[in-house]
């Protein structure tokens, strides 16, 4: 096999610690504690290795990345290497001084997630007092400091009536970009799926609102949408293809083809504590297993869309079809699709069970 093309983007989960407890979190159920986390020097080395390898964009995420007190040093390193630095944050821990410091050091973009635009709802989902007001305040500071802002709107049963309002708010706060992210059911979200899945009708309405906004907000707001897998026709091109453009580094240094990949229990992952990043990207079994199209079975193998959606999501195939090499059941061509859709109709049609909130140890 010839060497794979170099990656363009890296998602770094700097920590699994988080002041919020959102039940839709896609982090794994087994959350790492602070003692497992990589050191500052280890992260700095990863950023150098990633830049050498060809990475142009880094997403500083988690957990809540601002809980790392060395975030400033990490941002400086990215700026030194001309790597585009995106902060993916809940924003509730940020002060204006800290944000200004990060902007000075070369941060380009802040993505702030909103649980809801109704204060009580936001508190009920995130379990954090006054979270909404804090987020709006941080968005305002970010604009004042000249940072690009993305409003990230995870969409689920308890807030799907707010899609229109998310667009209005994104325009009001001066965001460049909105990400309407129908919740992806991995990790904590999968555990809470019966509580979170909206109905097919509600989802269709939300999709229509997004389509209309695209026309109305051209040149005003960049709109990205994470599709609702359970009601899809074709699967998402997950990670733009496994091991093709992106990878993820977990808090403990494991290098993953996507942030949920550890849910595929048959795979083993290499760690940057033990091997150089370039070697892992090019040679690790976990990356090569589903790279390209050679691993595909039918109906993917002979499908004309195989280079468009790359068979969808391996984690979802493993979780719902029991085989990580199967077609993503989100695809209408998958033999498992009807069962997935029936499951969605059943769960979304029943009263929502109580959430299992995201806390270390809560799901074990």
Residue ranges binding other proteins (CB under 8 A): 6, 8, 53-54, 56-57, 82, 84, 86, 108-109, 111, 143, 146-148, 150, 171, 174-177, 179, 218-222, 224
Residue 294 burial (CB count, 10 A): 9
Q: Which is nearer to other proteins, 13 or 336 (CB)?
A: 13
Q: Provide the minimum distance between the beta carbon of 219 and other proteins in the complex, in angstroms, as a whole number.
A: 3
* Nearest distance in Å: CB 55, other proteins: 9
Report yes or no: 43 and 14 within 8 Å, Cβ to Cβ: yes
Least Å from the CB of residue 345 to other proteins: 32
* Nearer to other proteins (CB atom), residue 146 or residue 351: 146
Task: Please name which of 219, 205, 217, 101 lies closest in space to residue 162, comparing C-alpha atoms.
Answer: 205
CB of 64 to other proteins, least distance (A): 19
The nearer residue to other proteins, 84 or 357, going by C-beta atoms, is 84
Alpha carbon distance 241, 247 (integer Å): 10
Q: Which is nearer to other proteins, 194 or 217 (CB)?
A: 217
Distance CA 172, CA 259 (A): 32
Q: How far is the CB of 39 from other proteins (least distance, A)?
A: 27
Tell me the β-bridge partners of 89.
Answer: 112
For other proteins, the closer CB: 59 or 68? 59
CA triple 272-275-277, angle to 5 deg: 65
Nearest to 222 by CA among 163, 150, 165: 150
Instruction: Name residues whose C-beta falls within 8 Å of residue 358's C-beta, 6 or more positions apart in sequence.
Output: 18, 20, 21, 22, 23, 25, 27, 31, 188
User: CA quadruple 323, 24, 343, 330: dihedral positive or negative?
Assistant: negative
- Closest separation between CB of residue 108 and other proteins, Å? 5
Q: Residue 150 or residue 334: which is nearer to other proteins going by CB?
A: 150
**Closer by beta carbon to other proteins, 123 or else 164:** 164
25 contacts 187 by C-beta, under 8 angstroms: yes
Q: Which helix (H) or strand (E) holds 10?
A: strand 9-13
Q: How far is the CB of 117 from other proteins (least distance, A)?
A: 18
């Amino acid at each position: 096999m010839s060497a794979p093309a170099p990656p363009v983007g890296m998602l770094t989960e700097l920590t699994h610690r988080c002041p919020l407890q959102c039940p839709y979190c896609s982090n794994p159920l087994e959350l790492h504690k602070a003692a497992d986390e990589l050191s500052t020097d280890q992260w700095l080395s990863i950023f150098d290795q990633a830049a050498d390898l060809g990475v142009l964009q880094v997403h500083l995420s988690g957990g809540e990345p601002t809980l790392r007190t060395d975030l400033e040093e990490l941002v400086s390193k990215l700026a030194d290497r001309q790597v585009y630095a995106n902060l993916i944050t809940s924003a509730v821990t940020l002060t204006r001084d800290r944000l200004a410091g990060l902007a000075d050091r070369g941060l380009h973009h802040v993505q702030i997630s909103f649980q809801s635009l109704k204060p009580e709802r936001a508190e009920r989902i995130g379990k954090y007092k006054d979270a909404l007001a804090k987020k709006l305040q941080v968005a305002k500071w970010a604009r004042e400091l000249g940072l690009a802002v993305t409003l990230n709107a995870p969409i689920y049963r308890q807030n799907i009536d707010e899609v229109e309002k998310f667009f209005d708010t994104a325009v009001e706060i001066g965001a460049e970009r909105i990400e309407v992210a129908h919740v992806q059911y991995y990790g904590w979200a999968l555990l809470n799926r019966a509580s979170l899945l909206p109905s097919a009708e509600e989802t269709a309405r939300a999709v229509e609102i997004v389509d209309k906004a695209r026309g109305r907000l051209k040149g005003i707001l960049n709109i990205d949408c994470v599709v609702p897998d359970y009601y899809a026709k074709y699967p998402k091109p997950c990670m733009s293809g496994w091991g093709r453009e992106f990878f993820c580094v977990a808090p403990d240094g494991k290098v993953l083809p996507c942030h949920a990949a550890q849910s595929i229990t048959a795979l083993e992952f290499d760690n940057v504590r033990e091997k150089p990043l370039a070697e892992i990207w090019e040679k690790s079994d976990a990356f090569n297993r589903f790279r390209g199209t050679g691993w595909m079975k039918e109906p993917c193998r002979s499908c004309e869309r195989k280079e468009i959606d790359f068979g969808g999501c391996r984690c979802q195939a493993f979780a719902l079809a029991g085989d990580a090499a199967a077609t993503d059941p989100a695809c209408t061509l998958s033999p498992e699709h009807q069962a997935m859709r029936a499951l969605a109709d059943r769960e979304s049609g029943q009263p929502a069970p109580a959430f299992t909130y995201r806390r270390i140890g809560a799901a074990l």
